[in-house]
Each structure stands twice: as C-alpha cells, then as structure tokens.
Structure 1
C-alpha cells in the first residue's frame, strides 16, 4: 500500500534512514538525524505541496520516498529531485518501483518538467540505476569521487526524467521556493 506519510510514520522513517546513514551510501550524511529533524524535513516537503509517501507491507513500513526542490533557485522551480529508501527486508519486492511510480505520477500532476535522481555509489546502486531507467530516466552525468564515506571515495550518478519532451511553456507555477 502506498499513501502519504504522516507524523505517525516518523519513528519508522527515522529508523530506516538511520540504518542507511550508518550502513549505506544512499546518503552522504554520517550522523543519523533525530526524529525532530526528520519531522522538520517532512513538514518542509509537505509545505511545498510536494509528496512524501510511504509503502507498507502487512502494516509495516517497507519504504518511503519524496520529491524535493532540485536546486534552490527560481529558474529550477519545474525540476524536483526524488529520494527513495526501501527497508532491507522489502528490497526486491517491487517497493521501489511502486514508490517511484507514485512519485512520477504526482510530479506530472503538479505540472513539473523534470524529475532528477542523484544516485550515489556505483558499487551498490545498480538496482536503483536500473529502476530509474525503467521509468525513462536518462543518465545525465557522473560526479566522480564526489563524496567520502566509509574510508573511500564515492561517485554520484545523475539521472533525469523529462516529463514534457515537447519543451512546451510551463502551465503550472512550479515548486514555490523560499
């Protein structure tokens, strides 16, 4: 089941993200944020009318995902970045696919132009790269040795989904930036 995240999900979201911070490379954070910090992040995304969604399997959090502004400049207001985190026991069960499908649908509904994905670590992120490619994301480049975590340099791959290949003028206001 995919649904909008609520404050009731914060404990599970915080725990899932903490495991990725301390043991994975999907984020370059090195200290797990508190529940209060994660609550502020959730509220900030939702205040922009962007989706923060969760996936549940048998009532348990299987993953979460959200869209956030790609860059904090007005010219980028039609581009968002996706973030997807799937719990270890739920990997390989279609959770990432369902979350990304929901995000892309919501981005289209908001009249956005691009969904960007910034995927770290070619050594462990091939599944994420393949998932995004299935949705039509194109590789837009690689930032070589962009991050240092766990005693090694980590590449970052940028992928981009063009939601309106006609390059028509925007018909929606885009993401309101501060």
Structure 2
C-alpha cells in the first residue's frame, strides 16, 4: 500500500509563493550580490590605498602588493555580504528565529569588523613573502593563506570561553537563552 494520499486522507499541498514574493526574493538576492561585489571593490580600494598611500606602504614589498588586494577582496566581500543580512535580521524574524535585537546586531557588526581587520593583518603578513618569492608565487600563497586563515578560528569551541553567537543554535538544537526543556 502506498503512503500517498488516498480516499480517506486529505491532500497536503505545499504553500506556493506568489509572483510578488518571488520578485521580492529575486530583488533581495540581486541586492545582496550587488553589495557583496561593491564591498569587494571597496575592500580592494582600501587595501591598495593601505599599500600605496599610507604609512604602511614601506611595510608591503612590491611583489606582495597583490596579497593586500586579495585580503581586501575577502574582507570587503564578506562585509558586503553580511551587513545586509544582519540588517534583514533586524527587520524580519520568524517563530523559529526571532528578529535580532539592536545590541545583537551591533555585536555581529563589531565581530565582522574584527574579522575584517584579522584578514587584512593576515594579508600584510603573507605579503612579506614577496620579499623572497616572485609575485606569481606570492599571489598563489596569498590565495591559500588568506582563504583558509579563518579555519582555525572556526574550530575553536567559543562556547567554552563564554562567547556565543546570538541566534545560532548550539548543542541539541535549543537556544542558550530558552527555558524550555530539551
């Protein structure tokens, strides 16, 4: 016997989105992609300005300049991606995931800025390999070093240090601030 809808069972229909909801979703996706791209360009501009026009210009060798560009792409693109999502979290919520409080959103933005500074510091450190390696190898090393530098941070059990991420479910699926039994 099949498990589908039979003569005694009501047919369960999945809710369909309207054309307006589909258009709003498409506009939101395009908006987030646009802010991510613009953030990446802004990050590159900031990083190249850091490498060329600031007091840090002596710190970055000529063959390591592209490392700062790669770090700027990562920092700016990540910021451009997450800031609209944090703002959307302030505005929209569901029963499962309530809206972000302003203090939570501010903490998320500050954590994002700290991570951006971390990426730029890593890119300055990797740029130092331009003193001994040719530019092509420095770029290749930069892509891997900057791209994977966040992995040790992701593996640290931050909950043991009392640092939790608001809105992220930990452990058995319950929120740390909920009073419901597991």
- Bigger share in helix: 2
The two structures have a TM-score, normalised by structure 2, of 0.25
Q: Which has the higher strand share?
A: 1
TM-score, normalising length from structure 1? Answer: 0.25
